[in-house]
Amino acid sequence: MYTLIASADVPTTVTVIFSIFLTGLILCLALEEKLHAKKSVIAGSFAVICLLAGAAYEILPFGEVGIPSVPATQETDDHVTDHSEHESSHTVAMPVYIPAIDWGVIAIILGSSIFVDVTTKSGLFTWIAIKVTKASRGDPRRLLIFYGIMTVVFSAVLNNVTAMIIVGSLTVVSLERLGIREKLLAFLLIEGLLTNIGGLLTLISSVPNIIVGNAAGISFVTFFIKASPYVVVATAITLYLGARVFKIDKLKDEDEKNRAARQVMQFDENDGITSWAFFRFSTVVLCLFIITIACTSVLPYVKDLGMGYVALSFAMIMLLRYRSTADQFYRAVDWDLLGFFMCLFAVIYVMEWAGVLTAIGTGMKQILVAPGSATANARDVSTMLVGAAGFSSVTDNIPLAAMLANILEVELQTPPESKLWWSVIFGANLGGNITPIGSASTLVAVTIMHKQKLSMSFSAFIKAAGLFALVQIVLALAYVVLIL
Amino acid sequence: MTTLDNFQSAFRAASGVPFHPESLNFSNIALISDVNESVAQLLNDQVHQFLAAALPYSYEISTINSESYQSVTNMLTAIEELTHPASLICTYRNLYNRNEDLPESLGSHVDVLTQRVDVPVLLLPRPDRVDLTQLSLKEVMTVTNHLSGDNHLISVAAHFTPEEGKLILSHIEDETAFERYEQAIGRIPAIPTESSTSAIKSQLLHMAEQFISSCEHELGEQHFTIEKHLEFGNPLTKSKDLCSEHQVDLLVLNSKDANHVAMDGPAYELAVEMRDIPVLLL
């Protein structure tokens, strides 16, 4: 999507001014809760200011946008189709901020969001969740393991926040039923941490993956093959540590085991299913969705249309079931998140033209030894991973991922096979486990804790999650440096 | 995005309310009457015959008759002074009002008794009105508007249901009370009236149904059938209809309310109206 932009003519003072805007945006996003402002409003406000300032300082590329006439394709690594070699036969007038937005990312998020919402209505996820609960037979240790695995899988297939909402709500109900509410805080904390590990499993599991993966040209299958071993090991270690630290033990007494089993067997997994036909249909379509997304880079025609098209198409297929009331799902879309992305992309676009990203890239070149090399050295990988994790823990990982993706691709010309891309991916995801504001899903976990009157302050979270985050990041470092 | 509350509601709905059967034993029964010793002994035999179907184990019936008490206070004292504390009290309405079996009242002795003792009170039909030897115990029915989670009510009712008998679990939601809520919901713009009232109605009965499923599961080995009746309506009218439709032999009701000393309203209405069948008041 990005082409090399000549920002060398931009005066230093202009770059400094826009750096201040960027810092302001990042700070405001970090203080989102304190400001009582939605992300989209924060990003939107800064987008308005930056675009106006960009126009005033005459740094923005106003003018018509060229549309290629001959749809010959030139394939890059996996799925990106490059038309840039062809002359445009016609141009189109459009606002300067429209090409700034990565509409592929927007399409993936919008399509997946509607798809997941409609599929949820079939009762499929609650059915799976209750089946898993019953399989545990109420044993706390087994329940933790099963819920942990379910969290990772749901995070990978749905998104982190939805996964945390589903598993978190079920955890509250099932632990209350089992009479082990004192373990609720531990369960919710571990599940919150696992959402960010599950968010590493596939290309579409989290937004940083989509942004960075797209920029690096990493396909769905490649992403899965490279990330899954880490996810499996990190999940196992997190569950093991969680069980040890929070003393979540197996039931020993036969009477206790029978009583616990009787309690969970009372759950009725079929309770929420209003239409078995739609349930079966959703199951089939979900499987098809995952397969199609995985094969997007090899499917004829679909590979040119991209993953966003796949996500939107499957959303439309599911909406056929609710064709007369589709508007209820449009209302339920997280427009704040989509608005945030669009405004964020606009801000980053302006920053690009203002030379801010070039300046950051130059700074990074001072720190990194060989960022443009296909075989990034261990020091660069560690610096990037730890740096990304650190930033991601205190501010939103999406602007971080968006900026770093741009810098690595454009400024540092990092090749697609470089491990630096993976450093950003791992760092952006795992950083969310260090603080409660590091990721939306851990924020949901803390929200559930507070709703259940469980005390978990900012510092208490860091203290409780610190060991887990440290182990996960160290493991990621070793994995990226030595294995990937 | 689907909210936390949506999923929590879905899981709570799926979790149901489990039935936990209670272990009960009614081995010491007190029979309170307003007749002399010899007549009381006859009554004793009749009660024994009535309860034999449901209580196959040995139990002892102690009589408290007109020779032991007259006033309510003396009656309570006599109960306290029993050699073995009673686990069940049998009596009939309008004690010491034999000449006036007032249909609108249970009499002061029973009014106070049901609220002061912690054990169930089996209110038999008056012996001068119904021949107790003709009473059988095959079909037992519980009546409540809050069946879900009432382990004690179901446990006691199941205890008194004989083998090959039938236990009818009825849950009657008060339609008049619900209409008031419907009207209130209808005046709140933020809540869609039709869908929400329909959902609430359906969920109230569904919760009771889930509880009954749990009862069926737990009581499966008891060798009696369980039948359910779940509906909205006037609790008193519907209960009377069910009693006559099923030829109920024993009605089991909750009679206490933690918020006041009087007998729980619906229980009192039914106990007063059902003069010809035994009513077990908890």
Calpha distance A182→A455 (Å, rounded):
12
**pLDDT (tens digit per residue) in A136-186:** 999 999 999 999 999 999 999 888 888 999 999 999 999 999 999 999 999
Token representation of residue B153: 């009510």
A287, two tokens: 């499987």
Pick the residue from chain B with its C-alpha nearest to A112: B1
Interface test with B, best of A165, A178, A444 (most B CBs within 10 A): A165
Rounded Cα distance between A167 and B55, Å, is: 47
**Does the beta-carbon distance from A165 to B4 stay under 8 Å?**
yes
Compare all CA atoms of chain B with the CA of A128 and give the residue at the minimum distance: B11
Instruction: Please tell me the distance from the alpha carbon of residue B22 to that of residue A27, in angstroms, as a whole number.
Output: 60
Give the residue on B whose Cα is nearest the Cα of A334: B1
- Does B258 contact A at CB distance below 8 Å? no
| Nearest Cα to Cα of residue A103 among A399, A348, A341, A408 | A341
Q: What is the pLDDT of residues A230-249, one digit of tens each?
A: 999 999 999 999 999 999 99
CA–CA separation, B99 and B94 (whole Å):
9
Alpha-helical runs (H) found in chain B: 4-15, 37-52, 72-80, 108-116, 151-159, 175-186, 193-218, 235-246, 265-273
- B195 — contact with chain A (CB < 8 Å)? no
Residues of chain B with pLDDT under 70: 1-2, 98-101, 258-265
Domains in chain B, number: 1
Which of A126, A334, A451 minimises the CB distance to B11?
A: A126
In angstroms, the separation between the Cα of residue B254 and the nearest Cα of chain A is: 25
Chain A interface, best mutation among B8, B20, B215, by max A CB count within 10 A: B8
pLDDT at A81: 46
The 10 Å Cβ neighbour count of residue B174 is 16
Global ipTM: 0.81
Between A46 and B65, residue with greater pLDDT: A46
Place of tokens 């979270």: A461
Give the strands of the sheet with B28-32, arranged side by side: B60-64, B28-32, B88-92, B121-124, B279-281, B250-253, B139-144, B166-174, B225-233
B11–A contact, CB cutoff 8 A: yes
Q: What is the pLDDT of residue A30?
A: 82
A117, A130, A161 ranked by CB distance to B14: nearest: A130
Predicted confidence band of residue A77 (pLDDT cuts 50, 70, 90): very low
Q: Which has the closest alpha carbon to B135: B34, B53, B236, B33? A: B53
Alpha-carbon distance of B187 to A295, in angstroms, equals 53
Structure token pair of residue A323: 């064709």
d(CA B227, CA B154): 13
- CATH assignment at residue B267: 3.40.50.620
Q: Is A173 close to B18, i.e. CB distance below 8 A? A: no
Per-residue pLDDT reduced to its tens digit, A97-106: 999 998 988 9
User: Nearest CA of chain A to the CA of B56: how many Å?
Assistant: 28
B4 touches chain A (CB under 8 A): yes
| Cβ atoms of residues A272 and B10 within 8 Å | yes
Q: What pTM value is reported for the model? A: 0.81
The domain in which residue B156 lies consists of 4-281
A447 and B7 in contact by Cβ < 8 A? no
The CA distance from B174 to the nearest CA of chain A, in Å, is: 25
In B18-47, the residues whose Cβ lies within 8 Å of chain A are 18
What is the structure's pLDDT at A415?
A: 87
